Amino acid sequence: MDNLTHSLVGAVLGQAGLKRRTGLAMPALIIGANLPDIDAACFFWLEGAEHLGFRRGITHGPPALVLLPLVLAGLLWGWDRWQAKRGTRPKDRLPVHFGWLYALGFLGALSHPLLDWLNVYGIRFFEPFSSAWSYGDTLFIIDVWLWALLGLTLWASLRSEKKGGKWRRPAWIGIAVGLAYIGANWAISAGIKASSHSPYGLQADLIPSPPPLEFWKRDVIYRDPETGRWMMIDYSPGSAIPDAVPVAQGQPCAIPDLSALRKEDGELDAFLFWSRAPFATRAQGGGIVLHDARFYDPRARDRFSIALPDTPCEEPAGE
């Protein structure tokens, strides 16, 4: 998910009562909820599509979830001591307990991969022990309804606290409603995957992709068993299922055996490692362009595609 969602989750957890456990609890929760995304720094040293094979991996796995909150706790504890020595430590700050700082930082960090799992991009939960991708197919990567829910929850809790009311209650209600919202969306996607009465039938590679705003709908992506092309259906519960259309409207190309080229091309290797629904189209200047049906943009070469100008476009076998 996006970093605003992660931050709001950390803040709401604090308003549920955890911020009273130690001084600097809110920074521990909010920063901890964003810690795994330090892998975004890979843009400084990786080329092109190589970031696709690096993100949501090592910094989201068990070793990082244990070590990163430890570093955060040390920094926050040191900050508190430094302020105390300078005489700038806020008088109303609770005593800082290192153990609680670590525990809250760990809780915040743990929430991060769980939320990231919810979208179609996927995550590698057990990196470096396993590089297997896992996908929740439940929420769009930026869910404005979750923003609204978490934002309203945080506002109501802070407002109640300012008035001396039961400020933990709005946070707990918001958490419960948020979990129910996520559960309902998961049920929609799970129902599509389990259905055997649809035009696309049961398929292992079927992807129910949630759209940005209409959370109850799904862009159902699946591979046609006859042509091998990736198809899409605009699914809406309770409505007649429309005909499927190809994800790519351009000239399709077969994806040849790229095993040897992967060893020489780091971008290609990263792309194929990351890609869940790969397909190829003819490039304007010759060769092919590899895309992923989850993030296909026909208007331009974007960061979710890779060009192979020296690979000829051959007609797919099923065409």
Q: 232 - beta bridge partners?
A: 221, 245
The candidate with the shortest Cα–Cα distance to 30, out of 86, 97, 76, 88, is 76
Of residues 305 and 6, the one with the higher pLDDT is 6
- Tokens for 45? 């040293």
pLDDT tier for residue 63 given thresholds of 50, 70 and 90: very high
Between CA 52 and CA 36 the distance in angstroms is: 15
pLDDT band at 69 (very low <50, low <70, confident <90, very high): very high
Q: What angle do CA 114, 116, 117 make, to 5 degrees?
A: 65
Q: Read off the pTM.
A: 0.91
DSSP code for 243: P
Domain residue ranges of the chain, discontinuous segments joined by +: 3-186, 200-246, 252-308
Q: How many CB atoms lie within 10 A of CB 218?
A: 24
Residue 297, pLDDT score: 74
pLDDT value of residue 94: 96
The pLDDT tens digits of the residues spanning 97-110 come to 999 999 999 999 99
Write down the pLDDT at residue 137: 95
- Cross-sheet strand order for the sheet of 288-292: 252-253, 278-282, 288-292, 306-308
Cα separation, 197 vs 114, in Å, equals 31
Percent of the chain's residues with pLDDT above 90? 73
Interatomic CA distance for residues 216 and 138, integer angstroms? 10
Scanning the chain, the segments in alpha helix (DSSP H) are: 3-15, 25-34, 62-86, 98-116, 144-162, 168-194, 259-264, 266-274
- What tens digit of pLDDT does each residue of 29-47 get? 999 999 999 999 988 888 8
Express each pLDDT in 229-266 by its tens digit.
898 888 888 777 778 888 887 778 999 999 999 999 99
